[in-house]
Amino acid sequence: MGMNGITKRISITDVARRADVSITTVSRVLNKVPTVNKEIAARVEDAITFYKFKPNATAQRLARGTLSTAIGFVIPGFPGIFHSFYAVELMRGIGHGCETMRLDLVFHITDGLNPLRSSYAGGLIFADIIENRSQVEDAIADGTPALVLNHAAGDLDVSYIAVDNVKGGAIAAEYLISLGHKRIATVTGNMQTQAGRERFEGFQKTLMNAGVSFETEYFYKGDYSRRCARLAAERFFALDNPPTAVFAASDDMALEIISVAMESGIKVPEDISIIGFDDNPAGLFGPIALTTVKQPLFAMGEEAVKVVGDIMQGKTQGLFRKVLSPELIVRESCAPPSS
């Protein structure tokens, strides 16, 4: 014991380091998950004994059933977050879910580096995992009810509700191919996100399987922002052999590409077809209604609250995992190629 009987709080990280295992493994031993290898479990038990480690108060309050009635919504901060249909739609769904279940909502924008003080919330909902994996691991280790949205986190012991983004990218490619397009470009989402990578993967595979070649000049690595979509469109339109169709990994980007086309005197869909992703209502109100791939963001947010709320109240146990299917919404921004 140090001065005034205060000692450094031993954390699960110390236990993991001493036992030479991951934090997840320690958490499995603490939560008595039966699948842990006996030898490894013994090493973890030794480390727990050595440090006289006790899981934190949140886990103990959970056991006593006196847990906070707030849900923490953790979202990685990105530029333009409050203009983002994706973020706002998830917030709407989560807000509505909290209202229905009489829960409070604590909103946390993160850069992923700070540990979350999860004591203020009885449960946590993470919007994706971008550079904040350790925050999700801490929640699992603490026994805080947690769910990840828009990321199928199969490698973590955590509940999730995700969208089949590979299928979403494939749907967009299939539709453009079915109209007869051969020169198809794409502006991807942020490739650090599972959604960005998987939409591109589904798109590219579908082109390959259909024997449509994908040129590197038709690939633009985006970040879901209007700015990058404008740069991509300017580059595509300046090519000697411009694409006849573009798949943008978000509606925001698709709408910006339509704007650039119109400024350049390029007609949509006569000269170029454009398909987005999200089903953002803004896509209905421009000069050309946007064809898009719909993902049920509001419903995802609402269901996430129900799942986490039920775990908090001890109504359900174990992991909840669901992957939703995106669907094609055909409007006016795609047509067969004219050239």
- pLDDT tens, residue by residue, 264-274: 999 999 999 99
Residue 105: its H or E element? strand 104-110
Residue 332 belongs to a domain = no
Q: Which CATH number belongs to the domain containing residue 104 in this structure?
A: 3.40.50.2300
Residue 188 belongs to a domain = yes
The answer to whether residues 16 and 134 belong to one domain is no
Residue 197 belongs to a domain = yes
**pLDDT score recorded for residue 300:** 96
The answer to whether residues 154 and 242 belong to one domain is no
- pLDDT tens, residue by residue, 45-85: 899 889 888 775 455 444 444 457 899 999 988 777 788 89
At 1, the pLDDT band (50, 70, 90 cuts) reads very low
190: closest CA among 225, 230, 148, 155?
225
pLDDT surpassing 70 at residue 7: no
- pLDDT tens, residue by residue, 281-318: 999 998 999 999 999 999 999 999 999 999 888 888 88
Q: How many domains does the chain have?
A: 3
Residue 61 belongs to a domain = no
CB-side neighbour CA atoms (13 Å) of 10: 15
pLDDT surpassing 50 at residue 119: yes
The answer to whether residues 142 and 192 belong to one domain is no
User: pTM for this one?
Assistant: 0.78
CA-to-CA distance for 150 and 126, rounded, in angstroms?
A: 9
**pLDDT score recorded for residue 30:** 81
> Average pLDDT, whole number, for the chain?
90
- pLDDT tens, residue by residue, 197-235: 999 999 999 999 999 999 999 999 999 999 999 999 999
The answer to whether residues 94 and 132 belong to one domain is yes
Q: Which CATH number belongs to the domain containing residue 34 in this structure?
A: 1.10.260.40
Distance between first and last Cα of the chain: 79
52: closest CA among 4, 118, 117, 1?
1
Residue 211 belongs to a domain = yes
The answer to whether residues 234 and 155 belong to one domain is no
The answer to whether residues 33 and 141 belong to one domain is no
**pLDDT score recorded for residue 54:** 73
- The parent domain of residue 270 ranges over 165-295
**DSSP label at residue 217:** G
Residue 268 belongs to a domain = yes
